[in-house]
């Protein structure tokens, strides 16, 4: 085939039926404010651990909702639970409890 | 005199007493056997030392006289004292009295308790206080009267708890209710039994004799007295049998706790048996209910009285365990001095089995050596004016300092501890410890009370750790800072971790008084209300946090201050969003007071934005 400099991207469709949404359901059940995050990223901007690593709470929340959180375990371990994200969040998302709930879910749902 | 020393009605009492002693022996020896060898050593050394005398004194003032309850409210104190001290006196005096009548020195244990059934001494006239038996009869009736007055108060408390300084009272379990009904019936039954017997044979003291004679006029006392003695014995039996399963388990356990504490045994990290003994020492008096800000906003199962119950019954609920600010106010109120925060934290740890964490991503910076190390902490990084004020003070006072976490906030680890993740916290501690030790500082200054507490208690640093309130006061007293006092009215909010957590109440007040006019709020010092922002609570909704914050603000504004000053970055951030008036950290007002004296450079003015006087 002649290379015109274009190619077809791999399929990026999110298949909610196939994704593992157990974690999202578990968090919603235990911390309802998980629902009201608007992905503004303020939490990530202020994150103590994010200053040194690629810990990104905003992204994590999005991926969990989609059921695509793959590195969740190693990411979440880096959190210092310092609470800056929670204080900065404009929506009043209980981020520390989301993190603790993820911790528990990892143990209980066997991620 | 009837020479009779046994009757079958003593059986229910005697059996229940034996059962009770058996249960207690099994429980207590189990706890003590489970002590660490360190604690056992402390016990061995303590038993025959002067510490046991102090313990005895404390048992007398607290378990019997209820000194702390008296301090909280006279009626409440008297009610508890009349039951505890009254019953104690009844047993003690009764035993002495029974010696007077019995010819042998060792009596069966029931003998003094049912003495008036076995002995009706007609030789002594009722009010004859000149003879020894007469004096004892009088005394015994007086003590019974005291107990009954306590009972009347207990009944009144049901309807009018606010007279007793309690806005709310506790919900009780079935065992509690059975035990308390038995307890409340014991003394009226004793009064009746003794009165009927006195009516039948004459004798008795001023109370029982007169009542007895009165009853004899219209009641067949000779038929009533025997069944009443039975009822009295059965009631005692019911009380003893239900005691280990009810709130009244606190009576014997509290005594054990006082001795153990005096011998130096404390709850350690990761719980211990002394924590379990504390759990059983809670009488569910409910004093902590009124203290708890979370309870005040209708989160009903948070206060220790209910939390401890879940621990005791092994029915711990995750959300209840985490729905507590760890503000420590309940601890200050608790007459037993139960370490509720330590208990709660150790229970939280039970919810994480293998939570690992690794902070090896943290860089090891090159540390410049200096006299003073400053650790701002995450929360001060979030409230930059505090951190900048401190740096400005260091510069103005000419201090050789090193800003340890200048390159980004590294948490001190206390929030992790509060969440029950001690293992992870230890890793952060190691990192910070290297930083601090590496700086070779003599003084470590923190702006956040949370960091301050953890550095002092858990880091084992061997250097002086000061919160900036203390450090600033020291600089002022050493004449390194010149400040101008203004006439503005300031109210001070005691941060929980600084006040109740670390006992720092006076330094901030002295410092503020040097800068402005300090006026009181409604809840000062140990009584202050948490701002609601606490990192201790991971469950609470932001709505409830908001309500708690409003309680705190309301209490601060009572005397119409012009400015609220606090000494915690988290408090500042939490309070400032909801008040009309200005909220400032103590370091900011110090800089404000300096600014007039030696005007800050334009650059500093822009950056620090000091509180304008
Ligand atoms: S609590 Fe965790 S996620 Fe939030 S700011 Fe701190 S380190 Fe980052
Ligand atoms: S700051 Fe709050 S709303 Fe914004 S992304 Fe983070 S959690 Fe979501
Ligand atoms: S915890 Fe303390 S204040 Fe609360 S009920 Fe028990 S003894 Fe009373
Ligand atoms: S620590 Fe504070 S919030 Fe927790 S139970 Fe005690 S008073 Fe209530
Ligand atoms: S922020 Fe202040 S008042 Fe609020 S919990 Fe912390 S120490 Fe207590």
Residue B613 pLDDT > 70, yes or no?
Answer: no
At A6, list the tokens.
Answer: 């274009």
pLDDT over 70 (residue B609): no
% pLDDT > 70, chain B: 93
Q: Which residue has better confidence, B238 or B167?
A: B238
Q: A51: which chain B residues are within 8 Å (Cβ-Cβ)?
A: 408-409
Cβ of A81 and B354 within 8 Å?
no
ipTM: 0.90
Q: Where residue B603 falls among pLDDT bands split at 50, 70, 90?
A: very low
Cα B548 to Cα B543: distance, rounded to the nearest angstrom:
9
Of B540, B36, B427, the residue nearest B268 (C-alpha): B36
**Pairwise CA distance, residues B156 & B329, whole Å:** 27
Write down the pLDDT at residue A39. 95
In the block, tokens 């200005």 appear at B582
What is the Cα–Cα distance from B304 to B326, expressed in whole angstroms? 11
Q: What are the residues of chain A with a beta carbon less than 8 Å away from any beta carbon of chain B?
A: 33, 46, 48-49, 51-53, 77-84, 87-88, 92, 94, 96-97, 100, 103-104, 107
- Res B605: pLDDT: 47
| Closest residue by CA, ligand 2 atom 8 | A37
> In this structure, what token pair is assigned to residue B115?
């003495």
The CA-atom distances, in angstroms, between B481 and each of B369, B449, B508, B598 are: 24, 23, 16, 10
- The confidence score (pLDDT) of residue B99 equals 83
Q: Do A78 and B410 touch (CB under 8 A)?
A: no
Given a cut of 70, whether residue B52 has pLDDT beyond it is yes
**Which range among A4-8, B205-209, B407-411, B457-461 shows the weakest confidence by mean pLDDT?**
A4-8
pLDDT tens by residue, A80-94: 999 999 999 999 999
Using alpha carbons, list the distances in angstroms from residue B440 to B189, B270, B461, B556.
72, 31, 11, 40
Ligand 4 centroid distance, CA of B533 (Å): 13
Q: How far does the centroid of ligand 4 lie from the alpha carbon of residue B598, in Å?
A: 44
Rounded CA-CA distance B342/B347 in Å is 9
Rounded distance between C-alpha atoms, residue B370 and residue A89, angstroms: 36
Please indicate if any CB of chain A lies within 8 Å of the CB of B576: no
**Residue to test with chain B: of A46, A94, A100, most B Cβ within 10 A:** A100
The ligand placed nearest to the CA atom of residue B286 is: 3
Burial (0-12, 13-18, 19+ Cβ within 10 Å), B577: exposed
> What pLDDT shows up at residue B606?
43
pLDDT computed for residue B1 by the predictor = 41
Chain-wide mean pLDDT for chain B?
A: 89
Question: Would you state the pLDDT for residue A12?
Answer: 75
User: What predicted TM-score, i.e. pTM, was given to this entire model?
Assistant: 0.89
Closest residue to B352, CB basis, from A46, A52, A103: A103
Is the Cβ–Cβ distance between B252 and B24 less than 8 Å? yes
Residues B291-333 have pLDDT tens digits of 999 999 987 889 999 999 999 999 999 999 999 999 999 999 9
Angle between helices A22-30 and A95-108 (to 10 degrees): 130
**B324 touches ligand 4 (CB under 6 Å):** yes
Give yes or no for residue B106 having a pLDDT over 80: no
- Interface contact A80-B358, CB threshold 8 A: no
Give SS3 for B216: helix
Q: Count CA atoms closer than 13 A to B374's CA, side-chain side.
A: 24
DSSP B167-200: SS-----HHHHHHHHHHHHHHHHHHHHHHHHHHH
Q: What is the pLDDT, as a whole number, of residue B594?
A: 86
The stretch B522-544 carries a mean pLDDT of: 94
The answer, yes or no, to whether residue B536 has pLDDT greater than 80, is yes
Q: What is the dihedral of CA B283, B289, B295, B296, to 10 degrees?
A: 170
pLDDT at B595: 57
User: How would you classify residue B560: left for phi > 0, otherwise alpha for psi between -120 and 50, otherwise beta?
Assistant: left
Cα torsion for B295, B300, B302, B308, to the nearest 10°? 130
Ligand 1 atom 8, closest CA: A47
Within 10 angstroms of residue B433's Cβ, the number of other Cβ atoms is 17
DSSP run (H or E) holding B466: strand B464-467
pLDDT in tens, B328-369: 999 999 999 999 999 999 899 888 876 667 888 888 877 888
Q: What's the pLDDT at B172?
A: 85
B539 touches chain A (CB under 8 A): yes
Residue with more model confidence, B181 or B579: B181
Q: Do A77 and B419 touch (CB under 8 A)?
A: no
Q: What pLDDT is recorded for position B2? A: 43
Residue B24 C-alpha, separation from nearest chain A C-alpha, in angstroms: 38
Please tell me the distance from the alpha carbon of residue A57 to that of residue A96, in angstroms, as a whole number: 10
Task: Determine the residue of chain A that is closest to B353 in CA distance.
Answer: A107
Residues B382-403: tens digit of each pLDDT? 999 999 999 999 999 999 999 9
Local structure of residue A4 (DSSP, 8 states) = -
**pLDDT confidence of residue B254:** 94
Rounded CA gap, B340 and B289, in Å?
13
When pLDDT is cut at 50, 70 and 90, the band that residue A95 belongs to is very high
pLDDT band at B125 (very low <50, low <70, confident <90, very high): low
Q: What is the DSSP letter of B49?
A: S
Question: What is the pLDDT at residue B588?
Answer: 95
Q: Distance, in angstroms, between A102 CA and closest chain B CA?
A: 11
Distance A58 CA to ligand 2 centre (A): 6
Distances (CA, A) of A36 to A33, A65, A79, A89, B438: 5, 12, 21, 11, 44
| Among A68-77, B67-76, B257-266, B334-343, the least confident range | A68-77
Q: Are B166 and B159 in contact (CB under 8 A)?
A: no
Q: Nearest CA of chain B to the CA of A60: how many Å?
A: 17
Q: Is the dihedral of CA B529, B531, B537, B542 positive or negative?
A: positive
Confidence band of B270 (pLDDT split at 50, 70, 90)? low
Q: Give me the pLDDT at residue B597, please.
A: 47
Residue pair B241/B19 in contact (Cβ under 8 Å)? The answer is yes
Query: Chain A contacts of B541, Cβ < 8 Å?
Result: 33, 94
Residues B114-126 have a mean pLDDT of 71
Report which protein residue has its CA nearest ligand 1's atom 1: A81
Q: Count H helices and E strands in chain A, helices first.
A: 6, 0
Lowest mean pLDDT among B449-453, B461-465, B500-504, B605-609: B605-609
Q: In this model, does residue B444 exceed pLDDT 90?
A: yes
Looking at residue B360, its pLDDT comes to 87
B428 touching A, CB under 8 A?
yes
| pLDDT of B445 | 97
Of all protein residues, the one whose alpha carbon is nearest to atom 2 of ligand 2 is A89
B577 has a chain A CB within 8 A of its CB: no
Q: Which two tokens stand for residue B586?
A: 């103590």
Whole-number Å distance between alpha carbons of B391 and B304: 41
């Amino acid at each position: 085939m002649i290379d015109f400099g274009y190619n077809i991207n791999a399929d990026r469709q999110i298949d909610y039926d196939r994704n593992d949404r157990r974690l999202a359901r578990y968090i919603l059940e235990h911390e309802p404010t998980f629902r009201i995050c608007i992905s503004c990223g303020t939490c990530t901007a202020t994150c103590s651990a994010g200053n040194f690593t690629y810990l990104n709470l905003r992204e994590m929340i999005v991926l969990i909702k989609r059921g695509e959180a793959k590195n969740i375990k190693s990411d979440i371990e880096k959190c210092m639970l310092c609470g800056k994200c929670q204080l900065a969040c404009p929506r009043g998302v209980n981020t520390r409890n989301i993190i603790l709930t993820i911790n528990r879910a990892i143990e209980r749902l066997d991620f | 005199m009837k020479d009779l020393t046994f009757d079958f009605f003593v059986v229910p009492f005697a059996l229940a007493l034996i059962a009770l002693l058996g249960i207690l022996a099994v429980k207590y020896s189990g706890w003590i056997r489970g002590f660490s060898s360190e604690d056992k050593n402390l016990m061995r050394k303590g038993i025959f030392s002067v510490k046991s005398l102090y313990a005895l004194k404390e048992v007398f003032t607290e378990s019997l006289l209820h000194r702390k309850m008296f301090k909280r409210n006279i009626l409440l104190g008297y009610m508890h004292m009349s039951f505890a001290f009254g019953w104690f006196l009844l047993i003690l005096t009764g035993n002495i009295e029974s010696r007077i009548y019995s010819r042998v020195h060792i009596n069966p244990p029931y003998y003094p308790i049912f003495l008036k059934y076995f002995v009706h001494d007609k030789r002594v006239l009722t009010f004859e206080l000149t003879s020894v038996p007469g004096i004892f009869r009088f005394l015994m009736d007086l003590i019974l009267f005291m107990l009954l007055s306590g009972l009347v108060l207990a009944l009144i408390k049901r309807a009018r708890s606010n007279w007793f300084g309690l806005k709310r009272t506790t919900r009780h379990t079935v065992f509690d209710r059975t035990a308390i009904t038995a307890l409340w019936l014991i003394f009226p039954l004793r009064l009746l039994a003794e009165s009927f017997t006195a009516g039948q044979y004459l004798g008795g003291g001023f109370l029982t004799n007169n009542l007895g004679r009165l009853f004899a006029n219209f009641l067949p006392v000779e038929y009533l007295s025997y069944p009443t003695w039975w009822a009295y014995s059965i009631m005692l039996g019911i009380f003893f049998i239900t005691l280990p399963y009810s709130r009244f388990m606190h009576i014997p356990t509290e005594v054990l706790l006082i001795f153990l504490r005096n011998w130096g045994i404390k709850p350690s990290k990761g719980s211990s048996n002394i924590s379990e003994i504390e759990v059983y020492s809670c009488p569910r008096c409910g004093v902590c209910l009124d203290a708890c800000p979370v309870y005040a906003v209708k989160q009903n199962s948070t206060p220790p009285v209910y939390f401890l119950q879940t621990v005791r019954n092994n029915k711990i609920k995750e959300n209840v365990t985490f729905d507590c600010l760890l503000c420590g106010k309940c601890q200050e109120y608790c007459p037993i001095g139960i370490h509720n925060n330590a208990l709660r934290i150790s229970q939280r740890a039970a919810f994480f089995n293998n939570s690992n964490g690794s902070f090896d991503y943290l860089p090891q910076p090159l540390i410049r050596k200096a006299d003073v190390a400053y650790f701002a902490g995450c929360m001060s990084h979030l409230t930059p004016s505090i951190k900048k004020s401190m740096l400005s003070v260091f510069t103005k006072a000419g201090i050789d300092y090193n800003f340890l976490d200048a390159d980004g906030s590294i948490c001190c680890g206390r929030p992790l501890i509060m969440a029950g993740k001690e293992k992870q916290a230890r890793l952060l501690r190691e990192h910070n410890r290297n930083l601090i030790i590496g700086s070779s500082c003599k003084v470590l200054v923190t702006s956040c009370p949370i960091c301050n507490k953890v550095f002092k208690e858990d880091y084992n640093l061997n250097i002086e750790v000061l919160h900036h309130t203390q450090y600033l006061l020291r600089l002022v007293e050493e004449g390194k800072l010149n400040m101008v006092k203004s006439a503005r009215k300031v109210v001070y909010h005691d941060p929980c971790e600084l006040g109740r957590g670390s006992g720092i109440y006076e330094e901030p007040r002295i410092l503020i008084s040097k800068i402005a006019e300090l006026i009181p709020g409604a809840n000062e010092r140990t009584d202050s209300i948490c701002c609601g922002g606490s990192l201790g609570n991971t469950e609470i909704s932001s709505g409830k946090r908001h309500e708690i914050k409003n309680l705190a603000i309301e209490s601060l504004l009572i005397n119409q201050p012009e400015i609220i000053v606090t000494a915690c970055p988290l408090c500042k951030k939490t309070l400032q969003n909801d008040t009309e008036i200005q909220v400032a950290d103590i370091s900011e007002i110090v800089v404000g007071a300096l600014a007039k004296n030696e005007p800050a450079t334009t650059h500093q003015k822009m950056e620090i934005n000091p509180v304008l006087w």
